[in-house]
Amino acid sequence: MRLEGKAAVVVGAGQTPGETIGNGRATAVLFAREGARVVLVDRDPSSMGETRDMIAAEGGTCVVCEADWTRAADCRAMVETALTSYGRIDVLHNSVGIGTAADAPVHRLSEEAWDRVMSVNLKGMFLACREVVPVMREQGRGSIINLSSVASVARYGPTAYKVSKAGVNALTQSLALANAQYGFRVNAIMPGLINTPMAIEGQLGARGMSRKQLVEQRNAMVPLGGKQGHRLGHRLCGPLPRLG
């Protein structure tokens, strides 16, 4: 019960349809298991409702807020929902992100594809953080967690996704440095290709292989039985340069 009595906002608490569980849903369920009172935020009320039912079935506490985080008014509404329901915000977990088949190297990337990825992956995170920062400053404590990607620092072809996640890293660092004096921290998580619906389902059509083949390919690049490791990052980034 490490989060007992805490109020946590999870943006992206629904998920892309698929056979496995998404990062946002998994986070919301785990936070509730650890005793947090959770605000579920998602633009898809049906998927968010499934997450709510999972938490309720385990005896957890949560409320829902339908919102599109690329809209400033919706981000204000999620903060108001949290404060009205629980009186505080101890955790903001930002787990929204998209890729698109239209993403490409710069010389083939359309303005429309660039704008969509940057709006969802970076603008929305900025708006959500902007609304929560004043609350945490007043409280003098809290934690903001932004979901980035190893693609931000690895060799990765699609431009918009990579740049948007690099922007998430810069935004996180800027927020952390500006707000440490107010008693709360800001961190980014940089996962690789996880077996989630958003990651796997989105790759199936693009790669022209079965789900089983794609998952096996992913697992082969990650040591320790498909768990955390360094091999994928090494293959994407190449060996580290020698110094001196």
Catalytic residue numbers read 161
For residues 32 and 114, the answer to whether their CB atoms sit within 8 Å is: no
Distant-in-sequence, close-in-space partners of 96: CB < 8 Å, separation ≥ 6: 11, 12, 24, 69, 120, 121, 124, 125, 147
DSSP codes of every residue in the chain: -TTTT-EEEEET-S--SSSS--HHHHHHHHHHHTT-EEEEEES-HHHHHHHHHHHHHTT-EEEEEE--TTSHHHHHHHHHHHHHHHS--SEEEE------TT---GGG--HHHHHHHHIIIIIHHHHHHHHHHHHHHHHT-EEEEEE--GGGTS--S-HHHHHHHHHHHHHHHHHHHHHGGGTEEEEEE---S-SSHHHHHHHHHHHT--HHHHHHHHHHTSHHHHSS-SHHHHHHH-SPPPP-
- Tell me the C-alpha to C-alpha distance, in Å, between residue 99 and each of 10, 103, 202: 20, 7, 8
